[in-house]
Amino acid sequence: MTALAVAAALIALVALLGTAGVRSRRSARAAADFQVASRGVTPWWNASAISGEYISAAAFLGSAGLVLAYGADMLWLPIAGTAGYVLLLAFVTAPLRRSGAYSVPDFAEWRLGSRSVRRIVTGCVCFVGWFYLLPQFRGAGVTLRVLTGAPVWTGWAVVVAVALLLAASGGMRGITAVQAVQFWLKLVAVAVPAMVLLTVWNLAGAPDPVGATPPNFERATRVQVRTAAAVTVPAAVTVTVRGRVDGAVRDGERVPLAPGRHTIGAGTDIRFPAGAPVPHAERLPVQDGATWATPFGRAEENGLFRTYSALLGVLLGTMGLPHILMRFYTSADGAAARRTAALVPVLLALFSVFPALYGTLGRLYAPELLMTGDTDATLLMLPQRMLPGPGGALLTGLVTAGAFAAFISTSCGIVVALAGTISQSVRRRNGVTAFRLGVVLALAAPLAVLPRIGPQGAVGLVTMALCVSACSLCPLLVLGIWWRGLTAAGAAAGLLAGGGFAVAAGLARLFSGPSAGWPQDVLAQPAAVVAPAAFAVMIVVSLLTRRRVPRRADRALMKLHLPEGTPVR
Amino acid sequence: MNGERRVAVTGTATVRARTIRDDADPPSGTRPAERPAAEPSGSDQPDPDPLHTGSPVPDPRQGEPPDTSRSMAVGAAAATALIRLQLGIALRTCAIVIAVVAGLPALLALAPGVAHAGVRGVPLFWPVLVFGVQPVWIAVALRQLRRAERAERELTAPAPGRGTAARTPRREPVGRP
Amino acid sequence: MVLPSVVDVVACATAAGAAGAAAGAWALRRWRGLPPGVARRPPRGLPRGVARGLARGLPRGVARGLARGRSRGLPRRPPADAAEQAAFATLHLITRASPPLRAGLTEDSARKAARRLRSLLGAEAVALVAVLPPSDDELDDLDDDHPDDDHQRVPAAPRLLAWDGAAHDAHAAEAVRDALPVLASGRPRVIAPELMGCRDPLCPVQVAMVAPLTVEGRVEGTLTVYWRSPSAARVRAVGEAARLVTGQLELAGLDNARIRLAEAEMRALRAQISPHFVYNSLTTIASFVRTDPERARALLLDFADFARYSFRNPRDFTTLADELRSIDRYLLLERARFGERLQFRVDIAPEVLPVAVPFLALQPLVENAIRHGMQGAGGAFHISIVARDSGAEAAISVEDDGVGMDPERLQEILSAPLGRPGPTGWGSVATRARRPGGDAGIGLANVDERLRQVYGDEYGLTVETALGAGTKVNLRVPKYRPGVFPD
């Protein structure tokens, strides 16, 4: 039944998006319609589209999973994300729109008049986009695996197929409308089940989700482990196993598990009695209720630094997301772009309440995700768990549609942004060919990396992308817009230093597991160190090359900050 | 409609044949759906002056000289002042954001008592983080928007000339048609 | 990735950092230059070496090198003898020295050129003096208006554009004074050590050779080269270098002329749009005055708006939204005239409305479709305007089902020989012959021309047409191109 609901949901999603795309093209036959046809995208609509692109798999699925796994420490991320848009509004949007640049490399070239800086920026944009695509692929894979048991690559294939379809259709028919509709779809897909599940929880007597102990299985639960995993068992428990535990093959025998580390083979079925403590995947912390619910409750080493660094990365990184910045080009002028940016926090705030809610309910009703490590699937599992039967299936279908809207909108946004940026640097070719080439390049890089990276949560991957953007594009934009003294040499040095280090740290983190200690902490969350350093390098080198301040810097700054059409004496 | 062959011509002397789709050209194919067009005989009451219905400016054009820019010319000094002003506004916004983003974790980390405070087992800071901070961002964003727009209006319409001032923010009002 | 910026950083850091260190480095180089056999730059025989290389070794060497490279796919192979090597080095220096001045004589270009000329000539110092009004915005893009009028009034005084090499402090001030006689006479001049009046025996600047830079019969500036001692070969070399610079400046002048011609044609087009249209519109409006005064008034206002758009905007770029608005007015007026016969359909992706397009890039296409396509056709005439978002570009098409055109005829109009990029770059665009009755394609040709000029050759119009089969004009506009803004 769930599969049926999921399939129905996907079909409905495709139909909805198709209609939105077709309807959004403004047609005019009579004179009055012409005015409508030549009216741009309104701030409200564009803000919806931006929020639609921003709420990716990470925000939709990942943050609920993080709250489930780590607790209160993860409530910071939505806060920082929204705050990032406030800074984007304050520092970037209106001037960027007024520059007339379509992509960030355009802006860099226009402002600094240097082709080499343009190339460096293009590189940075590519890395940000690639890092950002990784979690979308992973999210799609996890979703399909959890719901239908299909191998992960089917999810990847869905995303690739959609992106290729987009490229083959020769561009984006009504992409703004499609993205905007997807935002509202996602909001409905997350809000309606939340209301229903809250009611269910209330009817069940509102059990305390926090609890004093680490999470327990509320009732007897069968857990299927699909991929081999190592788990930490918090307290002794006796379970029924069909499969391989600690290297021994069992066939429906009762096995006592002592507290500590155990390995479970792929395809093993484990049956837990009601009230049994939940084993945790090795990389997840085992926390009792109070620790889980308290910020910094785990007293981690350098916890404050990690939090600050992640916050700074998200905060500044939001300013440099290429697909978001490109959306502002659609606004009619700088003022409209600014209004658009001011509306985005409103929309994101609507959305940000829900992950915490789902994470909390997940601790109560879907704790086995802590064992399998698929915490990203919290949102998908909860409806079936709390509401078995057709109601649950219906809600699951809705959530699935939202999840797919999340992958599709964000991946399409990034793929379009990357392809647009890449196609600009292969100018020899025909525009459509170059665009298609760009799409292929944008998809190929993450696909090549994807099978080789270890287990990573969607949010971790997104913060990595944001960190690269915070350390490279953000300083460029902020200084380029507000400081006339920025030189091409300064920008290039800052981009190479900041972007280079952030990319290196990201790659190192991708291919190595999590670990502790200062160097690893800096490597895991480099933004707090690297972003200020990138700013500093840009400023210092620009001051050293003061003689090379572009001669048009003053005029450029005026163009950035004066409203369009203001004559300058 | 017409099964002829068109030929594609570009300036660079490449000529390639083009076969026309059989379902006729878009202009002619869409004909049945068209609205009745305006007629010279003057039976178009419902659409008297379509051009000006879209514009929220009532009709101030008649009295104006043919070439009015939106506002007065701005001197370099005024422009620099505007940039300074906008930077000030943006930095103040940034200060608020940083204060909140940096202050809350510090408060919770350095004063664990605050973090543990709670009502009936629910830590107090949980709802604050989930529900309390986002409205602050909305307020800060709207404040930033208002101030930045006001700064621009004051620059471009320093005189009491209402007519020009009313035109500056004339892009679509917030809201979706 | 290319990292010239890092090199720049280092270079600038040293330059800004320590004048003393720079002086030290100079001393070092001079000291190392003293032993005659070891010198890496040929101390005296350079001009002769250059001449010989150019006369003999070079053509053979180049030809051989090219043949080798092509046949075996070996891009690089050291030339056989020293003469060839010198020739290659010289050729390289020459090609490097030329490009900066292609932008005209500005401080920026002069600074770069002076540096390269000095290494080409192996001189102690090189100075470029020009008789130009001070100008700040040569490098600025199309988005600036051209308030050149102010500059014209500044009296033209010779000034030192660039000094590259040693003894800047001691002699730079005299460079203009030394150049004055040459600027007046237009003849080269050698200033002997006695006349230089340098008291410092160690000063490398002992002799100056001043060559005029004569562009189209006017002395625009001088090239002054300073040596330690005079020689006939050096005099000749300076003369040749001045000729090289002059050649580049002449090309720069041609570039400017081309831009001015394009502007002139733009203005002409703007003025030319209307005669028929103005007449027809006014007649139509007049016919409404009695029967439907309300409508006549509305149409008159539309006409005024249309005219205002066409004449007012002095800048070269506008947004697609504005261009569409102008087309809307145009179509309204034409519909008043043709009534039910003229049907149109507009299909616009809202995403592309803010795209910057050259002013009047679409309107002539629509006008062309109506003026030409409706000729002789009795029935309804459909025109459809479609703009789609396609990645980093907007794809726009104007299609009609009118009488169409003979493709060969259109080809002829579009690819008229003038205005195509020839071997020496762009030719004139203004002198396209207007054939009687060949009116149809002129609007197309003009738009085509301007698109190519602004965006590059691959962005020309594509026209699909045949006699009796209607016409479809496709154009692509990149969302961003350096210097293209709806300012």
In a domain, A254, yes or no: yes
Average pLDDT over residues A399-410: 86
The span from the CA of A432 to the CA of C474, in Å, is 14
In a domain, A216, yes or no: no
Q: Which regions of chain C carry the CATH code 3.30.565.10? A: 276-478
In a domain, A38, yes or no: no
Q: Which regions of chain C carry the CATH code 3.30.450.40? A: 98-135+154-259
**pLDDT(A530) > 70:** yes
Which has more confidence, B115 or C272? B115
pLDDT in tens, A45-81: 899 999 998 888 778 888 888 888 888 888 888 899 9
Q: Is B12 on the interface with C (CB under 8 A)?
A: yes
Which has more confidence, A26 or C352? C352
- Chain A: give the shortest CA distance to residue C107, in Å: 12
Q: What percent of chain A has pLDDT over 70?
A: 91
Which has more confidence, A516 or A197? A197
In a domain, A208, yes or no: no
Nearest residue in B to C307, CA atom: B66
**pLDDT(A343) > 90:** yes
**Those residues with Cβ within 8 angstroms of residue B131's Cβ, 6 or more apart along the chain or in another chain:** A353
Q: Residue B48 and residue C294: Cβ atoms within 8 Å?
A: yes
Which pLDDT score is estimated for C84?
83
**pLDDT(C424) > 50:** no
Q: Residue C479 and residue A329: Cβ atoms within 8 Å?
A: yes
In a domain, A422, yes or no: yes
Which pLDDT score is estimated for C483?
56
The pLDDT confidence band at residue A477, using thresholds 50, 70 and 90, is very high
- Chain C: give the shortest CA distance to residue A497, in Å: 11
Interface test with C, best of A24, A25, A38 (most C CBs within 10 A): A38
The angle subtended at Cα A184 by Cα A23 and Cα A45, nearest 5°, is 55
Q: Is B83 on the interface with A (CB under 8 A)?
A: yes
Q: Residue B11 and residue C415: Cβ atoms within 8 Å?
A: yes
pLDDT in tens, B58-117: 333 333 333 334 445 667 788 888 899 999 999 999 999 999 998 888 888 777 777 677
Average pLDDT over residues A381-389: 86
**pLDDT(B142) > 50:** yes
Nearest residue in C to A553, CA atom: C140
Which pLDDT score is estimated for B41?
37
**pLDDT(B124) > 80:** no
Interface test with B, best of C287, C326, C472, C476 (most B CBs within 10 A): C472
**pLDDT(B34) > 50:** no
Partnered with residue C200 across adjacent β-strands are none
Contact between residue A86 and residue A388 where contact means Cβ atoms under 8 Å apart? no
> Same domain, yes or no, for A160 and A264?
no
> Same domain, yes or no, for A270 and A345?
no
CB < 8 Å to B68, chain C: none
Q: Residue A31 and residue C335: Cβ atoms within 8 Å?
A: yes
In a domain, A372, yes or no: yes
Packed helices A334-365 and B133-156: angle between N→C axes, nearest 10 degrees: 180
> Same domain, yes or no, for A256 and A144?
no
Distance of CA A549 to the CA centre of its chain: 37
CB < 8 Å to B34, chain C: 343, 345
Question: Which among C340, C465, C471 has CB closest to B37?
Answer: C340
Average pLDDT over residues A239-252: 85
CB atoms within 10 A of CB C448: 27
Question: Which among A29, A208, A303 has CB closest to B35?
Answer: A29
Interface of A with B in 194-253 (CB under 8 A): 208, 210
Q: Is B164 on the interface with A (CB under 8 A)?
A: no
Nearest residue in A to B115, CA atom: A294
Q: Residue C349 and residue A551: Cβ atoms within 8 Å?
A: no
DSSP letter at A497 equals I
Contact between residue A562 and residue B86 where contact means Cβ atoms under 8 Å apart? no
The pLDDT confidence band at residue C74, using thresholds 50, 70 and 90, is very low
Which pLDDT score is estimated for B18?
41
The two tokens of residue A481 are 């817009």
CB < 8 Å to A421, chain C: 392
Nearest residue in B to A87, CA atom: B94
The pLDDT confidence band at residue A369, using thresholds 50, 70 and 90, is confident
Q: Is A345 on the interface with B (CB under 8 A)?
A: yes
CB < 8 Å to C299, chain A: none
What's the CATH number for C276-478?
3.30.565.10
**Alpha helices by DSSP H, B9-49:** 26-29
Closest CA to A328 of A550, A477, A165, A128: A477
pLDDT in tens, C149-189: 444 444 567 888 888 887 777 777 778 888 888 888 888 88
> Same domain, yes or no, for A56 and A162?
yes
> Same domain, yes or no, for A404 and A514?
yes
The span from the CA of B13 to the CA of B28, in Å, is 29
ipTM of the complex: 0.88
**Those residues with Cβ within 8 angstroms of residue C392's Cβ, 6 or more apart along the chain or in another chain:** A102, A103, A420, A421, A423, A424, A431, A434, A435, C478, C479, C480
- How many CA within 13 A on the CB side of residue C180? 6
Identify the H or E element spanning C406: none
Q: Is B13 on the interface with C (CB under 8 A)?
A: yes
Q: Residue A25 and residue C486: Cβ atoms within 8 Å?
A: no
Which has more confidence, B151 or B114? B151
Which pLDDT score is estimated for B167?
40
Q: Indicate the domain borders of chain B.
A: 86-157
**pLDDT(C283) > 50:** yes
Q: Residue C288 and residue B31: Cβ atoms within 8 Å?
A: no
Q: Residue B144 and residue A308: Cβ atoms within 8 Å?
A: no
- Domain C98-135+154-259 indexed as CATH 3.90.1150.10: no
In a domain, A463, yes or no: yes
Highest mean pLDDT among A2-11, A180-189, B1-10: A180-189
Which has more confidence, C384 or B173? C384
pLDDT in tens, A172-217: 556 788 888 889 999 999 999 999 999 998 888 877 777 767 788 8
Interface test with A, best of B69, B128, B146, B152 (most A CBs within 10 A): B152
Contact between residue C452 and residue C444 where contact means Cβ atoms under 8 Å apart? no
Nearest residue in C to B38, CA atom: C339
Domain that holds residue A242: 221-277
- Chain B: give the shortest CA distance to residue A497, in Å: 24
What is the SS3 assignment for C224? strand
Which pLDDT score is estimated for A129?
93
Q: Residue A343 and residue B174: Cβ atoms within 8 Å?
A: yes
Which pLDDT score is estimated for C140?
40
Nearest residue in C to B3, CA atom: C469
* DSSP letters spanning A363-409: HHH-THHHHHS-GGGHHHHHHHHHSTTHHHHHHHHHHHHHHHHHHHH
Instruction: Residue A434: give its domain's CATH number.
Output: 1.20.1730.10
Identify the chains in contact with A, defined as 3+ C-beta pairs within 8 A. B, C
> Same domain, yes or no, for A80 and A134?
yes
> Same domain, yes or no, for A174 and A266?
no
Which pLDDT score is estimated for A347?
93
What is the SS3 assignment for B140? helix
pLDDT in tens, C331-343: 888 888 888 888 8
> Same domain, yes or no, for A447 and A515?
yes
CB < 8 Å to C143, chain A: 559
pLDDT in tens, C305-319: 887 777 655 456 788
Residues shown for chain C: 487
In a domain, A569, yes or no: no
> Same domain, yes or no, for A267 and A397?
no
- Whole-number mean pLDDT of chain B? 61
Nearest residue in B to C471, CA atom: B6
Which has more confidence, A335 or C153? A335
Interface of B with A in 3-22 (CB under 8 A): none
Number of domains making up chain A: 2
Q: Residue A349 and residue B82: Cβ atoms within 8 Å?
A: no
Which of A165-169, C226-230, C324-328, C433-437 shows the lowest mean pLDDT across its residues? Answer: C433-437
Contact between residue A498 and residue A531 where contact means Cβ atoms under 8 Å apart? yes
Q: Residue C389 and residue A172: Cβ atoms within 8 Å?
A: yes
Q: What percent of chain C has pLDDT over 90?
A: 0
- Chain C: give the shortest CA distance to residue B6, in Å: 4
Contact between residue C367 and residue C333 where contact means Cβ atoms under 8 Å apart? no
Q: Residue C452 and residue B11: Cβ atoms within 8 Å?
A: yes
Packed helices A63-70 and A458-471: angle between N→C axes, nearest 10 degrees: 110
CB < 8 Å to B145, chain A: 89, 338-339, 342
The two tokens of residue C430 are 């203004």
Q: What percent of chain C has pLDDT over 70?
A: 66
Q: Is B145 on the interface with A (CB under 8 A)?
A: yes
The span from the CA of C368 to the CA of B52, in Å, is 26
Q: Residue C12 and residue A493: Cβ atoms within 8 Å?
A: no
The two tokens of residue A151 are 């191998």
> Same domain, yes or no, for A357 and A465?
yes
Using CB atoms within 10 A of its CB, is residue C93 exposed (0-12), middle (13-18) or buried (19+)? Answer: middle
